[in-house]
Amino acid sequence: MARLIEKTKLLVRNGLLGAGVAALIAGAAQGQQAINSIEVLVNDEPISSFDINQRLRLVIAVAGGVESEQEFLKVREQVIRSMVDERLQLQEAKTVDLTIPDSDLEQFFARRAQGLNQTPEQLEAALRGIGSSKQTMVNQMEAEIAWSQLVQGRLGSFVSVSDEEVEAYIKRIYDNRGKFEYRLAEIVLIVDSPEQEASVRANAEELVERIKQGASFPDLAQQLSASSTAAVGGDLGWITAEDMDPTYADAIKALAVGDVSAPIRTPGGYVILAQRDRRRILTADPLDTQLTLRQVHLTAEQMQDADAVAKFRATVGNLHNQETSCGEVAQYAEDAGAEGRTEIGNLRLRDLQPEIRNVVQDAKVGKASDVMTMDDGMRVLFVCSRTEPTVQEPNFDAIYDQMEQQRLSMMGRRYLRDLRRDAIVDYR
């Protein structure tokens, strides 16, 4: 997300968002409306132009920019739908006196920043830089957290998963040994009435194109998805083809890992699926090999200096032909003038970008790679340890929790659908 925010700031500076979008980013009101006029009333509670524009700037950053006013209007329509849902969720939470303390929201904001490798102050500054704000993100988090607690509190006791169901699920796992299971993520867009069909479909198609062009699926899911999985970037966990809706299974089998599906029509609207990963059931997968990695990293900013690049190459460019030690990585970085962090940490092969995975998957422990040039700079990688994968047997409690959460999520979607149906929403 941080990189996408920087990309959007560049688009804004270079005036590449189109006349209508640039006017919004600059803070101009559309038509004769005041910038803080009321655009939507949700059960007599207002959503202002200012609120919408603040969220729009954040979503446009996540999407990596927009290229036309038409695209901008599609994003704006989906943003308003999401904000209406959030307002309904918070209103429902208030009926049971459920509020999220400011201290908790601060902690969640700090965790969000940490997930982006930033301090809270850096994330707040980045949001200001695109014309959004910390408060916009906090408001969204408040709705996510309140709704999750409300659904758990009101519906959790009605979710029933029997031991027999879990045991039957585990039996299917053993019966499917060697077959593929899939790590999926979703973006759910709701269609509340026939009049919305065409516009929601168009929004879904636009999101698919955005993701294919490099926009972050988890960030878009977090911003726009109507599912409770939005809070975890749309993650659905591991699932077999037999346990999916047949329509989902047909779509996933045609996808490569990392791809997204075309919009899938469901009874409630449209779903976009991403195949994040794939593995064989109860089979040791080489991609589950655990590696501890370090690096000497010349940042993209440093690469603007030809002398810095020359020094980097002269210092570490031939390390792959020498005996090296992970304990000396910090010294290599200092000698090379590299300012990027040296610790990457312990990761599975499957979690690495394909470009990095191809370099390290067969590398010997302690051996340095050739110099790699990537979007975020130049680096030399070191494999400091390697742990071969083992077969993970199914865990009863983990499967029970997964089935319980799936059913609770479905009940939560129905709950929100009922709130939409009974709400009085006035679009000005």
Q: Ramachandran region of residue 162, left (φ > 0), alpha (ψ -120 to 50) or beta? A: beta
- CA dist 112 to 102, 218, 219, 353, Å? 15, 13, 11, 22
Task: Report the pLDDT value the prediction gives residue 7, as an integer from 0 to 100.
Answer: 42
Among 411, 393, 392, 395, CA closest to 166: 395
Task: For residue 76, give Cα distances in angstroms to 51, 60, 159, 173, 258.
Answer: 12, 9, 36, 43, 27
Q: Which residues contact 183 (CB under 8 A, 6 or more apart)?
A: 235, 236, 237, 238, 275, 276, 277, 278, 279
132, 57 contact by CB (below 8 A): yes
**Element containing residue 237 per DSSP (H, E):** strand 235-240
Please report the pLDDT score of residue 14 as a whole number: 37
Q: What pLDDT shows up at residue 419?
A: 94
pLDDT, averaged across the chain: 86
Identify the pLDDT of residue 39.
92
So what's the pLDDT on residue 395? 92
Q: What is the pTM of this model?
A: 0.70
CB atoms within 10 A of CB 294: 23
Report the pLDDT value the prediction gives residue 217, as an integer from 0 to 100: 92
- What stretches in the chain show pLDDT beneath 70? 1-35
CB-based contact 239:228 (threshold 8 Å): no
* Domains of the chain (ranges, CATH numbers): 168-283+410-427 (3.10.50.40), 286-387 (3.10.50.40)
